[in-house]
Structure 1
């Protein structure tokens, strides 16, 4: 789906359909995992301009494509008053794709999961303990 206007447009339309009609809450794209965090922050109402997000927060040569602006702007607008906001996530290794270490260095300490209980076919309860230096941490 690289370097093809129609593919990006199809992806945007499919995303809108899945979010609006079926309650999907994630837009995962072939972009750097760590680079995707500022894009998710922006679609969630964070500061910045869409041009900056496209230029700095997307890898795999997707940022220069103006067709990528539509999905990001739509997600940001959707999230303003959505009962179920949609997030934007990169799913590739960061940087040069040689090592995941730069991404791991940027990750906050994860809470320790103490138990996972299945309550029903589609429901689980996760009990966890926050990281010692982040007592207010939530999942």
Structure 2
């Protein structure tokens, strides 16, 4: 319904201007506090109905010492770096196999991306299953430290 006159002009002269008792319009007393006030007391039924997960905790966080984030290197990268590593003396060539300790170049885990063309004997903390398979197919060995 469209009004011709605003409600306030209609209410001019009345003491409370449509707000009930004059005490009810003051502060936040009539609505039981501002915001989330009374959530544990007089507004408890509202919390239960409309925001049941407001209180309490859910789940847990794993301790930081149990979270692993190993530094990884792919087989393809190892293959590219091999000539330099042999020159520097980090990798050693014995008979027809190249021995390399991956931890000496700052890595902990070997992943299986890329190709290797020569047999390698790699030492690391961890190997992915794909990496182990590729190394053994090329005639090499894996050793977990």
Shorter-chain TM-score range: under 0.3
Normalized per residue, the structure richer in helix is: 1
Q: Which has the higher contact order (CA 8 A, sep 6+)?
A: 1
What TM-score do you get using the length of structure 1 for normalisation? 0.22
What TM-score do you get using the length of structure 2 for normalisation? 0.22
Report which of the two structures shows the higher radius of gyration computed on alpha carbons: 2
